[in-house]
Structure 1
Amino acid sequence: MNNDTKLQDLPSLIGDLFSQHGLQIDNLFATLWTKMHIATLLHRAGFHKRSGLEVTQVVYLLLLWVWLKTESIGMFSRDAMQSFTDAKKDVMYDYLKREDVNWRRLHCQIAQQVVMEHKLNTQTIKAFVLDDSVKIRRG
């Protein structure tokens, strides 16, 4: 059975990006993470953990899981996560269950960062749509 992500299942912009020869998605994602100062935005949004894997690593894995559209955290853990960390899937599930994590605040800060980074506040079109859909958890 082939569980690879199919290009036709991805949004067109991402699908086009993935079809580029020699592209390493983990390098692209890491570059975007650094350029957008996501670690700083996480701390500003109040994201924290008391022990274990750092919150920046947990959120990095969660965002990568969502971005790659893997069916479940379990599948992501089994098929890809060991490439990035020694952490187990329970770390991701535990962080998703926390009610004190303000994901909408992080979304807002990322949107503000995109607007500032690309000088979108000077554009005539004043809309920025950020997907705030709920990812269904399984398992």
Structure 2
Amino acid sequence: MALIKRSGFPVSEVIFTLSLWLWLKKDSIGMFARDSLQGMGKDVLYDTMNREDLNWRKCHELIAYKAVKSFRKDIKKAFVSDDSIKQRFRKKMPGISSHVDHTTGRHMMGQQVLTVGLSCEEGFVPLDNELFTSKTKIQELAKPFKEGRSAVAKRHRIAVNQTKPEMVASMIRRALRAGIQGHYLLAEAWFGSKAIIRLCQETALIAILRMKKSKLKYRISEYTNGEIIEREMDVKALYKHSVRKQRKKILGQGG
């Protein structure tokens, strides 16, 4: 990744410092710069954060790749997808929208962050993330981007226009192209869709998804007497056919 800074502190040092600020979970850049840095002030950090041309995703990908390479190759790994809401109390803050917090059932204004990571017995590494903007109470940006083709402008268009399953599919495909391999995909009911199942088929991942009870039909193909028999089932029928029917009792255990 080519990062160029013509004067002042080397951009690699600035990026490393910003990474430390995130990892140490310091609330204020100003306090962090005052207490921890020698020479590099908060303005340097703010100016770098506000640059539209820096590809933060690529930087994150390179760091994640190095972390994943430290895992043993002989253990099973799973891509994990989840979302969280960062509540913002300034209702007119640009770029936020209304989201439902499923833990409380309440609507709140803020930013929803969709994250894909890689998990195994040796640890968890966040691989990629995306902001998701709902269609409810969207607060428009205060001003347009300086360059519509910049990295930050492209990511904003993704946040506004793509669905969560589309974002997950893109993030997993990017991880695979970067050489990060997984065996499974774990996700909650929101991602239990045909699009995600199709993604797993195309990428040879085993999907472990929580499915919603709905009228959505799934096609199942089976070999019977040398012929392929196709049937469509909803989640309840599919569970009864493919899970409950295959359940085996453990000797010495009741039930």
How does the TM-score come out when normalised to structure 1?
0.54
Shift of 1:61: 1.1
Structure 2 equivalent of residue 125 of structure 1:
77
- 2:27 aligned residue (71, 74, 80): 71
2:57 matched to 1:57?
no
| Unpaired segments ≥5 residues, structure 2 | 80-117, 119-124, 132-255
1:36-76 superposed Cα distances (whole Å, 9 cap, x missing partner): xxxxxxxxx22221111001111121111111111111111
1:77-123 superposed Cα distances (whole Å, 9 cap, x missing partner): 122223xxx11111111111111110111111222222223344x42
Instruction: Give the RMSD, CA atoms, in angstroms.
Output: 2.1
Q: Which has the higher strand share?
A: 2
Structure 1 equivalent of residue 37 of structure 2:
81
Structure 2 equivalent of residue 90 of structure 1:
43
- Cα distance in 2, alignment partners of residues 48 and 117 from structure 1: 29
User: Highest Rg: 1 or 2?
Assistant: 2
2:5 matched to 1:46?
no
How does the TM-score come out when normalised to structure 2?
0.31
Residue 117 of structure 1 aligns to a residue in which SS? coil
Structure 1 equivalent of residue 60 of structure 2:
107
Whether the aligned pair in 1 keeps the contact of 2:34 and 2:41 (CA below 8 Å) is no
Whether the aligned pair in 1 keeps the contact of 2:4 and 2:11 (CA below 8 Å) is yes
Q: Which has the higher helix share?
A: 1
Specify the code of the residue in structure 1 equivalent to 2:59.
L
Work out which structure has the larger RCO, using CA pairs closer than 8 Å and 6 or more positions apart in sequence. 1
Residue 69 of structure 1 aligns to a residue in which SS? coil
- Cα distance in 2, alignment partners of residues 87 and 111 from structure 1: 26
- Cα distance in 2, alignment partners of residues 110 and 64 from structure 1: 13
Specify the code of the residue in structure 1 equivalent to 2:15.
V
Specify the code of the residue in structure 1 equivalent to 2:47.
D
Shift of 1:133: 7.2
> Percent same amino acid among aligned pairs?
43
